[in-house]
Structure 1
Amino acid sequence: MAHANTLTARWAAATDGEPTVLSGAGVWPLLAYLSSAADGVERAELEQAVGMPAASAVDAATELLGLLRSAVGTHAALGLWVHRLLTLHDAWLRTVPADTVEVLAGGDAVDAWVRKHTDGLLDGTSVPIDPDTLLVLATVLTVRTQWREPFLDGSLGIEDGPWAERQFAWLHRWTEDRDRLAVYETVHGQVTVLSVDGVSDITVDLVLGEPDVPAGTVLATAIAAPGAGGPCRLGSQLTVADAPGLRMVSQDAAAKPRLYASVPRFTVSRAHDLLAVGEVFGLCSVARADRQRLPRMSDTPLAVGRACQELTASFTAEGFVAAVSTRFEIALAGGRPTQWRDDVAIGFDRPFGFVVRHRPSGLVLLAGWVTEPDPPLPVREFSRGEDHDF
């Protein structure tokens, strides 16, 4: 899990301070599966991005998805759609759970899969799948939790700073557990973190850094700080407002000390073109479509044609909810291959018969005629975490 966190921190460091939300946990398994399909420079770049050899990364990706399946408050799914013209190597196909594989026939099935696995939080994909795509590999992730201690709606007057005199929907809470607040001393200055626990396995850290430190640096530092072992002061150790975001409020000295917290409600949504920062994900070489980039996936020359992520996240008085959809589109590399040809295909798209034979003797065991095939199967789920408290 540390490698996925490192990827998230590296990506966060590249952000520019505009409103954003991102999930390295949604990208990392896809990079792991993709690394096992590559060779040479492409494989090396992907291995560097995932932080381990490709052979180990596949097992780690399965483990990560298993964690998201079993954790209370999360749901994750993996999907693979393959065009009927594309033949995959069995060795690579076996790295992907068998019940995730579907036939790629346009983007409608992928959109329906995203809607189902995000409970409608994401309405499919905002960027249509390219019609030349031969394979789609995707993950979805949702997070849902209620707060152990809910917030109260209210207001707050802001006298200075970038939000001075602006009006927002504010949330307020107080607790005797002052150690939900921590101030980390880092090479980029102090970082203040308020940890808000959900009734499930989810904690949301709210983060403030020094005013002059770039947002990406603050976010990346906050991701790493709790596990870095550096100097840290907990809320019960704080007696003056000497860190980002802190202020002192006067209270009855006879009452037990409390921590008072105010945070605005927020919803952040974002769509990312992962190839725009391809160096973060090791996608630079594997996305060059001049020649075969994924030889362990198929004999057909392939390259990554598109890599994107769409997210939404909401923080309210009652809890937190988020949804993430990440997909890689794999397309033909090097132009239309000369070895391609028109092959015969058959579709049983009207009533048809079947005959069952005993192959050694030729004995017909039974025969039949089909006029009413089975109804469509529901979208297959890779995993589902239960959150009985939400």
Structure 2
Amino acid sequence: MQRPSPAHRRNTQRRRTRRRTTVPVAVAATAAIALTACGPAADGPAAGEGVERSDAERTVVAVADAPASADAVRATEELGLLALRAAEDPEENALVSPASLSFALALLAEGAGGDTAAALDEALGASGADRTAAYNALQGALAEHDGDPAVAQDDELPEDPVLHLANQAVLDDELEVDPDYLDRIATAFDAGVQRTDLGSDSGKRVLDAWVNQHTGGLIEKSAIEPDLDLRMVLQNAVLLAARWETPFAEHSIADKDFTGPSGTEPTEMLQAAERFAYAESAGWAAVRLPYVDAFHADILLPPVGTDPADVTPEALTALTTALDAEKPRLVDLAMPSLELEPPMLDLAPALEEAGLGGLYGTPDLSGITPNGGLQVSQAMQQAYLSMDQAGTVAAAVTEIALKESAVPADPEVTMHVDRPYLLRIAHTETGLPLFLAAVRSPQH
């Protein structure tokens, strides 16, 4: 039996540790979960209490019947790059989920009107019913690979990829919500609904439990802070667990130099001489690593001295389009193993750059509540990614909190990833980017 690599042992121990400290949460079909991660507390809600359900059934739109899907994918990529650049320290690793961010904003857009709706439509790449259909279809395409998020705690990756995506709206006890809004997010996004006191610890436990459940325990708690003025929190979670189509051999793992912001140091590298799609554009080199089905990871190496997060949307599109067209060729590949868990990300700068700064002022969210007067007070994303010789486990949660506003042969090519690079994980059929990472110090 081959001896596991250090990275595999670290990642396995991490998953085992999380499994010991994570308590399962019961799931209610298409709607909501039990309200605490550790069972009913004496001063908290009982399981199932506060759950609301829309009578509207989920209606899935096919990608072929949603012509704006490609525009939604493009917009999601651009939102992801804005979020990647919003990380606090440009010398540290950064990890975001473009898909999680765009789906959370799509939930919000269902209740927007006027200039607010126009700004969200611009950021999301499509307008009105076309926008709803596009994100509905993208979620439907991903749902073909849905599974139990608890696979994130298993010692072995699943035989077939699991992509779990979930949406929820958590309503404060004092919010009078428009039932048509709940119908829209249930029909288009299968969003469950819970009602609780968002200004209390019990409300925080509701948010925490959902995050823990739908990320398989990889992200344990919500990033939203309780506030007496909070009236709604929109939550989206994305989890991926997938094996490489061609796993890296245990004996091919070795230390090689990686030069990051703090200098050059030995770094554990995954090595392979295999057939992969490879492309070059504007000084960048790119290789595509397929998972066993439906998903792939692009490793994008910039010119020396270029920060990976500085890639433009046009340059990124050129690289991924070139990879789409390339046939596999023999590549001598060396790339770092990874475990990324950056600090929670405040999305406010990215939303401002996307033209959505008005969400924090006096936005028109009259489609959510007839009383109006809601504004975004917190918009946060948390993410985790582990990549080793077997495959990848990654999870992200985006949360948007609304409060009452004060105012209503020899290898043909060689690619050694020995400096900061960009990692992009996407759904192969639609091209929807699920995760983007600027990897600057792989094992830090």
Whether these two folds match at TM > 0.5 is yes
| Equivalent residue, structure 1, for 2:265 | 166
Contact 1:181/1:192 (CA < 8 Å) preserved in 2? no
Indicate yes or no: 2:369 matched with 1:298: yes
The question of 1:263 aligning with 2:335 is answered yes
Do the aligned residues in 1 keep the contact of 2:224 with 2:401 (CA within 8 Å)? no
| Aligned residue pairs, count | 307
1:364-383: CA deviation from partner (whole Å, max 9, x where unpaired): xxxxxxxxxxxxxxxxxxxx
8 Å Cα contact 2:224-2:378 kept in structure 1: no
TM-score under structure 1 normalisation?
0.71
2:298 to 205, 210, 216: 205
Q: Is the 8 A contact 2:215 2:239 kept in 1?
A: yes
- 1:219 to 1:171, Cα distance in 2 relative to 1, 3 A: farther
**Matching of residue 277 in structure 1 with residue 350 in structure 2:** yes
> Which residue in the other structure is 1:45 paired with?
119
Q: Which residue of 1 aligns with 2:180?
A: 91
Displacement after TM superposition at 1:193 (Å): 1.3
Letter in 2 for 1:278: L
* Map of 1:216 onto structure 2: 309
Question: Residue by residue, what CA displacement relative to the aligned partner does 1:148-189 show, whole Å, maximum 9, x if unpaired?
Answer: 2211352244397768651222211122x2xx142232xxx2
| Corresponding residue for residue 183 of structure 1 | 279
**Aligned-pair identity (%):** 21
Q: TM-score, normalised by structure 2?
A: 0.63
Residue 102 in 1 paired to residue 199 in 2?
Answer: no
Q: Is the 8 A contact 1:65 1:77 kept in 2?
A: no
Aligned amino acid, residue 297 of structure 1 = I
In the alignment, the residues of structure 1 paired with residue 129 and residue 260 of structure 2 have an alpha-carbon distance, to the nearest angstrom, of 50
Unmatched segments (≥5 aa) in structure 1:
237-257, 338-390
- Verify: 1:324 aligned to 2:420, yes or no: no
Worse overlay, 274-283 or 131-140: 274-283
Q: Secondary structure at the match of 1:125?
A: coil
Counterpart secondary structure, 1:171: strand
Q: Is residue 7 of structure 1 aligned with residue 76 of structure 2?
A: yes
Given the alignment of the two structures, is residue 63 of structure 1 paired with residue 137 of structure 2, yes or no?
Answer: yes
Mark the runs of 5 or more structure 2 residues left unpaired by the alignment: 1-68, 146-160, 198-202, 409-444
1-structure distance, mates of 2:326, 2:273: 19
| Aligned with 2:383 (options 311, 327, 333) | 311
**Cα 1:273/1:77, change in 2 over 3 Å:** same
Separation in structure 2 between the aligned mates of residue 19 and residue 159 of structure 1, nearest angstrom? 14
**Following the alignment from structure 2 to structure 1, what is the Cα–Cα distance between the partners of residues 341 and 107?**
27
Matches within 5 A, 1:111-260: 111-153=208-250, 154-158=253-257, 165-175=264-274, 177=275, 180-185=276-281, 189-218=282-311, 220=313, 223-226=316-319, 228=321, 236=329, 258-260=330-332
Q: Kindly indicate whether the alpha-carbon contact (under 8 Å) linking 2:166 and 2:191 is maintained by their aligned counterparts in 1.
A: no
Task: Tell which structure's C-alpha radius of gyration is larger.
Answer: 1
CA shift, 1:283, in A, is 2.4
Structure 1 residues 232, 199: CA separation in 2 closer, same or farther (over 3 Å shift)?
closer
RMSD: 2.7
Q: CA deviation at 1:70?
A: 1.3
Deviations 1:34-57 (A, max 9, x none): 223222221211111011113322
Cα shift at 1:27: 1.3
